Chain A
Amino acid sequence: MKYIDEYRDKKVISKLADMISKSVSQDYTFMEVCGGHTNAIHRFGISSLIPDCIRLISGPGCPVCVTGRSYIDKAVKCSQQDDTIIATFGDLIRVPGSASSLEKERSIGADVRIVLSALEALETARLNPGKKVVFLGIGFETTAPGTAVVMKMAETEGVDNFFLLNAHKVMPPAMEAIIRDGVNIDGFICPGHVAAITGSGIFNFIPEKYGLGCAVTGFEPVDLMQSILMLILQKNDNAPKVEIQYNRAVTETGNVLAKRNLSEVFEPGDAYWRGFGVIPDSGMKLRKKYKKLDAENLISAVVSENEDDAACICGEILRGVKSPSSCPLFGTVCVPENPTGACMVSMEGTCNTWFRYKLNG
């Protein structure tokens, strides 16, 4: 399969593994920010191919995991309204809210449908004019342009039964929050798909301001191995910079059209991140023109940002300070079929990945 097989070539991987082994001269800790990277690392067994002195830790890049409990509460509330269809990406339906989840609501009669894109949600609205369709818009710069385009279409066409429950976020402020938090890392494996939209320039502040290396990385094993090597060499040479490993998709400036759509529909605003709290300017808020399509208009009471389960350490895991095995709930109370925290829900969540690949020993 083109664009897949050549990036999973055993010979190339083994050569990279060899180069990595020969390059290491100290301990290294790299953070993969994106849940897609976390999943690929474990799915392909990358850790078994690199020396023990390289530690890979997972950051806050799974959009499902950083979504606050109150967002789920709002979605649940929307799903309980009459004549309402919830259109959502699949991995959100199992996330626990304060008292319920979309999966539970569906099992007692709510109309919750899995869609693969915002466009599909809009189509659902067109096909069901008598119903309100609430699209759960979460995700980073990768998924937000899709939402933006659909919002513009809904507005232009006058589809008045389509609504967005918005929790889109941007990545750099969270990465900065991690650095400021004092997490001990030597470099970031940066999300290639985010940079495909924004351009790699959004990460420039990381080497410039904080002296940490960045490798903008694709999602195949060769990509990850090559980026690990790049970060090792940057550290060895004490020459932190933003290197584009994923150059088949990423440029420094990104996708101009997608960025234009984003800024037409959204403006920067503060956002709540599970495990971090509110991070200034880390959210994408709907601009005034699109406020009438805001699903928050459909629900009366404002649900406050309540705390997560006291024993759950998802926050520390998302910040890369702790690993799942140090959580008292991990694998006992909190399991994929009955998650306490969001990291256990999505296939890209750190706890879920650890559980599936039995990394706790």
Chain B
Amino acid sequence: MSKDLSDVIGRVLPAPEHFLSPEKLEQARKARRRFMGTALAMGAGVAASAGAATRAMAAEGEDAILKLPEHSTGLGQSVVTDGYGKPSKWEANLQRRQSPGLTRVNQASVSFTPLQGLFGIITPSGLHFERHHQGWWDIDPSKHRLMVNGLVKRQRVFTMDDLMRLPSVSRIHFIECGANSATEWGNVAVPTVQYTHGMVSCSEFTGVLLSTLLEMCGVDKKAAKYVLAEGADGSSMTRTIDIERAMDDCIVAWAMNGEMLRPENGYPLRLVVPGVQGVSWVKYLRRIEVGDQKYAAKDEAVHYIDHMPDGTHRQYTGIQETKSVITTPSGSQTLLDKGYYNVTGLAWSGRGTIKRVDVSVDGGRNWRTARIEGPVLPKALTRFNIDWVWDGKPAILQSRAIDSTGYVQPKINQLRAVRGTRSVYHQNAIQSWLVSENGEVSNVQVY
């Protein structure tokens, strides 16, 4: 080490910190700064000439490739800029939205999932549709309790600590509001699939089976015919569930898609009733009562009932029957050109799995069977895809699902023939999207 260090900068040398005296180290730092200054000045010159060259060569290719963007030439953001990550700012158009005609009061309203922009079968938790009857809450989980009472040997109280220690299950299920697609019973009323079908979401729910809790409490298996589920919020939503179902696949769930439930979806505890309309999936679940009669709660005696042509109402019709919809291309989207499209959509059944989905591009005259894009789970959304080459002429796209019981999704006129035109709930008809020559897609009824 006889040479001055400033003479050797630029060669590969052991890091000076390991063997130099403080004075020599300072000398080395100065020399390195001089070198870096020179290098930076050279770099700037290169960048300027490259910019001029790109403009000159525009015909040779696209700026997106030839002109390096800032993210290729600069330093990006640090880790944990955001402790809970958010979607890209470019995705901000995909939001839960209210339908202007439906909302009178913001606390007793509904927001719809933007199905037109989602992939696969899982709904991002922040885009899960909402339905509140009396506003939502963010409840302190340490103060939340679940009570089981009624026809049980032991009336019990559980804290969240207790519940989360119990053996848990994680299952993927759809939840659909009984009023999903209600606006379309009489005629076309809303433009996009977000508003026609956006009150359906699908998540992985984790919790303890309701049957486990009922058995722990010593449910009276002879006398018990029904359970009542009750929420802890202002509306204290109550719904009757038959005991067979309660002992089958209902889950007292605290988690959704790997994290705790979102407050809008019932944090810290909600009931999951697979295959049954969302109103039965009581949020902020505080109580399960075991009984021997139905309860005729407000939302099963005045709402969520089917208005039949003879003026009667069918009560307790909770099953969400087989349904499907094409999500792309769908209402008020615009096709950019003729040619190939992967027509994609969702199918689901409250009675089991989706066996088959057929797609028509001529308004239901001729059908082809779509590809089911794995996993096919009971009472869960199922993704389908089918190839379509659009010739630029008007086309009417429809999908028709068949479930594991053999039930075929009906046409709207078939539904009306049985249930009349004044019903609100449980509208599961085939949806038609008209693709016009200008590329715009619109909501129509064809049958």
Partners in one complex: no
The interface of chain B, by Cβ under 8 A from chain A, is none
